[in-house]
């Protein structure tokens, strides 16, 4: 926020693109779009300043008040993660969630971005990792449900083909605690984990994380710092506890991100590879607003998904608001053409069959991407840059895909 609580202005480029979209679109005329976001999320996204441009059709929803009086809405964009998680043990949150669900059920023509069942599965790493493991190349993992499983964890690690070091993540994939993780280096240190959690084989990736931000049929790739490489195999090193949010901030200078050895600069994933990956995930998730954490294995050069996030912050993506407006317009257009029965297709995600065809089509793609069979999963190999000049160019490249 700026001085005296005044939100900072929308950047000129964003304002121009949004104004152009509105001026060019008759479809948005008279439409009502509701936002249901926390105050923290609104501030991070600079939503208040954005709505100054669009105040005639956008409104922030107050869950503590009857929704019927605040509507009607053609589209509701929400992130109810806090409410969904708190509803597990808080009666007030249970009531807020029930009221929201009742409104949505009573207004089937209202389009929800994104559907509640789809969002709920991403709040549980057990559920989201099953999705990743089914079709997308991701590291082997093991679910630990309770402390009663601790005596048999080593057998589970062996059975699931996990290899040390292991990264331990909480089951709940939301809130500040979800960023608290640990690196386990030996069987003796498995006692350090706190169930319920997920154990995942750590993949050396040159301390580079590619955050892919998805907005409908568009996506944007932003490079962030990540954990450095560690020797493969068990060792007597003590468990490292860390906060993934702090490690991967753009300005992070943690010792955990400083490589111990010289190595070639890793290329970013190709636009074709990321587009295929996003299309597959959109089909499996049925969502339009999510983030994907992607790394490139330094040994196999394989594109590897390590996490999926609900409605991320879109930091480093100045095109977010214009892309969101474009997606809303697209969804409304499809909804108007198909009739009220199409409201359930809120995210306008591609079908799984179409996504599979898209992935299979990469077999004939240029050398930037090459999929290979990996136990029915998609394995995409990134091309290694051929020169120092190309390495520098691609290192700082932000890949953008717009389904075109």
- CATH for the 121-320+346-401 domain, from 3.40.50.720, 3.30.470.20, 3.40.50.300, 3.40.30.10: 3.30.470.20
CA angle at 61 for the pair 58 and 66, rounded to the nearest 5°: 130
Per-residue pLDDT of the chain (404 residues; tens, 9 = 90+): 444 444 455 455 444 444 444 444 455 556 788 889 888 888 877 776 666 665 446 788 999 899 999 988 999 999 999 899 999 899 999 999 999 999 999 999 999 999 999 999 999 999 999 999 887 889 999 999 999 999 999 999 999 999 999 999 999 998 889 999 999 999 999 999 999 999 999 999 999 999 999 999 999 999 999 999 999 999 999 999 999 999 998 887 889 998 877 777 777 888 999 999 999 999 999 999 999 999 999 998 889 999 999 999 999 898 888 898 889 889 988 887 776 555 544 555 665 555 555 544 443 333 233 333 344 455 555 544 434 444 444 433 333 443 33
Helix 320-338 and helix 12-24: axis angle, to 10°? 20
- Candidates 349, 328, 351; CA nearest to 110 is 328
How deeply is 23 buried, as exposed, middle or buried, from its count of CB atoms within 10 A (0-12, 13-18, 19+)?
A: exposed
Which residue is it, tokens 């120092």? 388
pLDDT score recorded for residue 355: 53
- Indicate the class that CATH gives domain 3-107: alpha beta
- The residues, any chain, with a CB within 8 Å of residue 394's CB and separated by 6 or more, are 265, 267, 268, 385
pLDDT score recorded for residue 210: 96
- Candidates 181, 177, 178, 165; CA nearest to 242 is 181
pLDDT score recorded for residue 289: 97
CA angle at 312 for the pair 103 and 78, rounded to the nearest 5°: 10
Domain ranges of the chain: 3-107, 121-320+346-401
Helix 352-360 and helix 271-285: axis angle, to 10°? 160
Query: Residue 184's beta-bridge partner residues?
Result: 166
**Full DSSP string of 179-196:** GEEEEE-SGGGGGG--SS
Q: Which two tokens stand for residue 21?
A: 């979209």
Residue 32 DSSP class: -
Judge whether 256 and 167 are in contact, CB under 8 Å.
no
Q: Which two tokens stand for residue 79?
A: 């992130």
Cα separation, 114 vs 131, whole angstroms? 17
Q: Which two tokens stand for residue 86?
A: 């708190």
CA angle at 230 for the pair 256 and 390, rounded to the nearest 5°: 80
CA angle at 122 for the pair 116 and 128, rounded to the nearest 5°: 135
Q: Which two tokens stand for residue 386?
A: 């051929």
Cα separation, 140 vs 237, whole angstroms? 22
What is the pTM (predicted TM-score) of this model?
A: 0.81
């Amino acid at each position: 926020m700026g001085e005296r609580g005044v939100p900072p202005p929308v950047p000129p480029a964003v304002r121009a693109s949004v104004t152009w979209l509105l001026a060019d679109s008759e479809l948005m005329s008279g439409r009502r779009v509701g936002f249901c976001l926390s105050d923290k999320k609104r501030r991070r996204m600079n939503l208040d300043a954005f709505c100054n441009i669009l105040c005639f059709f956008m409104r922030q929803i107050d869950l503590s008040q009857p929704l019927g009086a605040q509507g009607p809405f053609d589209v509701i964009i929400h992130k109810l993660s806090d409410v969904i998680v708190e509803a597990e043990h808080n009666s007030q949150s249970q009531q807020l969630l029930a009221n929201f669900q009742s409104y949505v059920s009573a207004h089937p023509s209202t389009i929800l971005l994104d559907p509640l069942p789809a969002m709920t599965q991403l709040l549980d790493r057990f559920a989201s990792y099953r999705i990743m493991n089914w079709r997308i190349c991701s590291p082997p993992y093991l679910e630990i449900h309770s402390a009663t499983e601790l005596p048999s964890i080593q057998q589970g690690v062996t059975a699931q083909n996990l290899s040390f070091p292991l990264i331990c993540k909480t089951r709940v994939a939301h809130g500040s605690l979800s960023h608290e993780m640990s690196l386990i280096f030996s069987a003796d240190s498995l006692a350090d984990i706190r169930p319920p959690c997920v154990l995942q084989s750590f993949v050396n990736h040159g301390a580079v994380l590619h955050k892919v931000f998805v907005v409908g049929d568009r996506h944007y790739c932003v490079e962030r710092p990540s954990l450095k490489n560690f020797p493969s195999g068990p060792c007597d090193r003590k468990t490292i506890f860390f906060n993934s949010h702090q490690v991967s901030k753009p300005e992070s200078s943690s010792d955990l991100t400083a490589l111990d050895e010289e190595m070639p600069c890793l290329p970013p994933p190709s636009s074709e590879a990321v587009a295929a990956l996003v299309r597959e995930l959109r089909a499996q998730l049925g969502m339009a607003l999510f983030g994907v954490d992607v790394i490139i294995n330094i040994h196999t050069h394989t594109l590897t998904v390590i996490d999926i996030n609900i409605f991320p912050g879109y930091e480093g993506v100045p095109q977010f608001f214009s892309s969101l407006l474009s997606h809303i317009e697209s969804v409304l257009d499809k909804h108007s053409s198909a009739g009220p029965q199409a409201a359930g297709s809120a995210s306008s995600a591609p079908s799984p069959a179409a996504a599979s065809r898209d992935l299979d089509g990469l077999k004939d793609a240029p050398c930037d991407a090459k999929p290979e069979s990996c136990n029915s999963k998609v394995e995409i190999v990134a091309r290694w840059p051929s020169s120092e000049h190309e390495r520098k160019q691609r290192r700082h490249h932000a890949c953008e895909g717009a389904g075109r």
